[in-house]
Amino acid sequence: MRYFQLNLKHRWARLGFGLLIVITLGAIIGTYSRGALVGGAAMLGFLWLKSHYKLLLALTFIGALVPLVAFMPQKWTDRMVSIGDYEEGSSAQGRIDSWIFAINIANARPLIGGGFKASQNPRVHFKYNPKAFRARSAHSIWFEVLGDHGWLGLMMFVALGYMTFRSCGWVRRRSREHKDLTWAYDLSGMIQVSLVGYAATGTFLNMSTFDLFYHVITIAVVLRLIVERELEARGEGKPKPIRFNEPNPVERAPG
């Protein structure tokens, strides 16, 4: 939404996306999800770092969030305050049990893990974590992948997100000085913001197979290809590697 707000020419369209951002903030708070609160905070912070108008964006966030939080009931405040309460919260303790299960099964099966939704299978869960209260999902993309696909799967999953983030950084560096590629500069930055939001929120939610994450990766791949071809057309592409087995052009010249 921030990408469209930056690049649309029509003033009312930009205002509309600004309104959507505020509404989305309200939706995040209204879900009572502690994971959403953590992810939203991380995403807003990183969005602020990537923004061209840091002061204006900060004032907008404050102006939108303060009234939203002020009107939330005490039940919401109590739930958010309990984020760090792992001893008294059964939900949090259940997640820790599932994380222990994921580590144990990954150590036993490092290359393949336990398969999809392994932690939700009581027979498998109690085999690798006998002290667990009950079998339940990991509620974390990292431990979900670890338990389902082992250490190898987790490394591949992390590498996929990391390399996408790095690729967007490449696009930002190469498009920064080109006014006609401002859209690519903004889009790559907002993709990075999306990845940060996904990583932070996903730490407390089952979202490892969330399709939008892989859509964002696809957009990042296509974006880099477009920018690479555009720069190559301008003679600013990657230098061709030297092939030492090719004959010297001087030796091929006649005479």
The per-residue pLDDT for 228 is 92
pLDDT at 149 over 90: yes
Q: Band of the pLDDT at 87, cuts 50, 70, 90? A: very low
What DSSP character marks residue 245?
T
Do 106 and 150 contact (CB within 8 A), yes or no? Answer: yes
The amino acid present at 228, given as its one-letter code, is E
The amino acid present at 151, given as its one-letter code, is W
Q: Which residue has the higher pLDDT, 224 or 79?
A: 224
Distance between first and last Cα of the chain: 64
H helical segments located in the chain = 2-7, 11-30, 34-50, 54-70, 74-81, 90-108, 122-128, 141-175, 182-202, 211-233, 249-252
Domain ranges for the chain: 1-81, 89-236
The per-residue pLDDT for 77 is 63
pLDDT digits (tens, 9 = 90+) for 202-216: 888 888 889 999 999
Q: Is 205 left (phi over 0), alpha (psi -120 to 50) or beta?
A: beta
**Range name among 6-20, 157-171, 208-222 with the lowest pLDDT average:** 6-20
Q: Band of the pLDDT at 74, cuts 50, 70, 90? A: low
**11-30 vs 54-70: helix crossing angle, rounded to 10:** 40
Quote the tokens at residue 206: 């089952």
Q: Band of the pLDDT at 83, cuts 50, 70, 90? A: low
Q: Which of 69-78, 83-92, 122-131 has the highest mean pLDDT?
A: 122-131
Q: Work out the widest C-alpha separation in the chain, in whole angstroms.
A: 91
Quote the tokens at residue 189: 């930055």
Q: Which residue has the higher pLDDT, 204 or 188?
A: 188
What pTM was estimated for this model as a whole?
0.76
